[in-house]
Structure 1
Amino acid sequence: MNRDASPMDRRQRTRLLARWAKAYASAVRSVDRLDLNTWFDLWHTLIDWRSRGNRHAEGLAEIARLTYALLQHAEQRFSARNAPIQIFASVCEDTGSNAVYVHSSNPHGTPFPREFPNVQWGVDAPIELNGIVDTTVHRIGRVHYTDETVHIIERKGLP
């Protein structure tokens, strides 16, 4: 992640926190509009569509925090669902790629549950997630790609 991002001044921080709160609320509404009884083929939503969190050190942690909060919201929303579902989050070096996914058996044949063959589970949280993820409930995995490292967060023991 862009650990050399510059610090925000007070006005920038206030403006960006308000923008991200609005983006978070929009993502929550997207999750809330989903039909609990339908199928999902890696449906996902983002908080930081324009990667603004990459510009400032505080943004990295804030977008990671909001992504985790959205994961928890989606899990709560689908807790009443009768059919198996998989909900997970990705926390990426580019905050614009942080996402929460909802996945189930589907007619497209996308494997369910989604496997993460190259993910190393049980790793320490990246600095942006320190103190945020409840590791008694969720597990954190890490996968290295050619151009970035991605952390996956999912509920332990599901689906």
Structure 2
Amino acid sequence: MKKFRGKKRYFRHLWKKVNDFYLQPDNESWFDFWHFHLDFCGTGEHSLKLRREHIKAHLALYNILLKRLERIEKPSQSWICIHEQDAGLDAVYIHTPNPNGDNFPHKLKSIDWHYKLPNTFKDLIDLEQFNVGYYKYEDGNIYFIQSKEQDMKL
């Protein structure tokens, strides 16, 4: 891999994207598995340090969205997906009742909510505040992070 140049500028831009994120849901808003990738190009795959910084940014964005979702009166689900093999697929999700189909609430029955967190990002996630689950499937394994205060569990 070539040396990652412009790292300070890259992360300054990433955190600006998180802090300036504009989504103001209201009672008319609906989300059908809406999601936002902060590392769409998979930059976090190049080193653990880069991956950890992206996970911190996803957690910060998730906390911002949780506060904004408190304003709406309809039920909602939100979570973070951290993919083991592909950092470009990491995302923050929002899901509500929507006109596209009868798919709310979304339930994944095979998530292991008692899975032990890997040491690589164990210190980033406050287990008092978040539930962390592990989901195995043929295309890759995923960690689901969801607020304990969330009404609708996955």
TM range (shorter): 0.7 to 0.9
Moved over 3 A (4+): 27-30
- The residue type paired with residue 53 of structure 2 is E
Q: SS where residue 114 of structure 1 aligns?
A: coil
Q: Give the match for residue 151 of structure 2.
A: 158
Quote the residue 1:118 is aligned against.
110
Residue of structure 1 equivalent to 2:45? 54
Task: Give the match's secondary structure for 1:87.
Answer: strand
On the 8 A contact 2:25/2:72 being kept in 1, the answer is no
**Residue of structure 2 equivalent to 1:3:** none
Amino acid paired to 1:138: F
Distance 1:154 1:101 in 2: 10
- For residue 139 of structure 1, the aligned residue among 125, 128, 131 is 131
Question: In structure 2, how many angstroms separate the alpha carbons of the residues matched to 1:106 and 1:128?
Answer: 37
Output the amino acid matched with 2:99.
Answer: P
Q: Which amino acid aligns with 2:113?
A: W
Output the aligned Cα RMSD: 2.3
1:53-87 deviation digits (Å, cap 9, x = unpaired) = 10112112111121111111111121222111111
2:71 is the alignment partner of 1:75: no
Answer yes or no: is the 8 Å Cα contact 1:20–1:47 preserved in 2: no
Q: More helix by proportion, 1 or 2?
A: 1
Normalized against structure 1, the TM-score is what? 0.81
Match of 1:40 in 2: 31
How many correspondences in the alignment? 149
Unaligned runs of 5+ in 2: none
**TM score, norm. by length of structure 2:** 0.84
Output the amino acid matched with 1:158.
Answer: D
Tell me, in whole angstroms, the C-alpha distance in 2 between the residues paired with 1:118 and 1:140: 13
> In 1, distance between residues paired with 2:16 and 2:131?
25
Amino acid at match of 2:74: A
In 1, the alpha carbon distance for the partners of 2:114 and 2:81 equals 15
Distance of aligned partners of 1:21 and 1:78 in 2 relative to their CA distance in 1, 3 Å threshold = farther
- Within 1, Cα distance between the matches of 2:134 and 2:123? 17
Mind listing any 5+ residue stretches in structure 1 that lack a counterpart? 1-5
Q: 1:122: how far off? A: 2.3
Alignment partners' CA distance in 1, 2:61 and 2:74: 21
Distance 1:47 1:27 in 2: 8
The 3-state SS of whatever aligns with 1:107 is coil
Does the Cα contact within 8 Å between 1:60 and 1:128 map onto a contact in 2?
no
- Structure 1 position 19 matched with structure 2 position 10: yes
